[in-house]
Amino acid sequence: MVSKICFVKRFAYDSLGVDMNPVYLKQTHQYQLLAKAFLCLMAIYLLFHLFLSERSIPAWMTLSQQQEQLTQQVEHLKAYRDDLKDRAVRLRPATMDMDLVEDYAIFMLGHGRGNSIIIAE
């Protein structure tokens, strides 16, 4: 029975043009081992860079959160800058706003009219 199975295997390999030489089979096995080792090393390399490197998924998520925070900070600073520009325009002699000048004087001098209450921010 065993010889019949061996004959069928040998016939199948011969029909495909595969040499049944033990040296050839050993070399083929070595190449397969090298290919498996190479694939394992590539998988380890890719997994390392996917999870632990500077450009990994967790690092990308951290950078995305920092980007959102910085975007909010930029929007806040733009609004503050626009407010300062508006106040600067209202303090120019041609377009002077007397209420703003009075508020500025109260803030700088520390006192206002007799019946006013000053709350410092």
d(CA 41, CA 34): 10
Q: What is the pLDDT of residues 48-68, one digit of tens each?
A: 999 998 889 999 999 999 999
Tokens at residue 61, please? Answer: 């998520």
d(CA 5, CA 13): 12
More confident residue, 39 or 121: 39
Q: Is the whole-model pTM more than 0.95?
A: no
Domains of the chain: which residue ranges?
Answer: 1-53, 54-121
Using an 8 Å Cβ cutoff, are 90 and 96 in contact?
yes
Q: What is the pLDDT of residues 11-49, one digit of tens each?
A: 555 565 555 556 566 677 888 889 999 999 999 999 999
Q: What is the pLDDT of residues 72-114, one digit of tens each?
A: 999 999 999 999 998 888 888 887 888 878 777 777 777 666 6
Using an 8 Å Cβ cutoff, are 25 and 33 in contact?
no
Closest by alpha carbon to 100, among 54, 92, 12, 53?
92
pLDDT recorded at residue 75 = 98
pLDDT recorded at residue 78 = 97
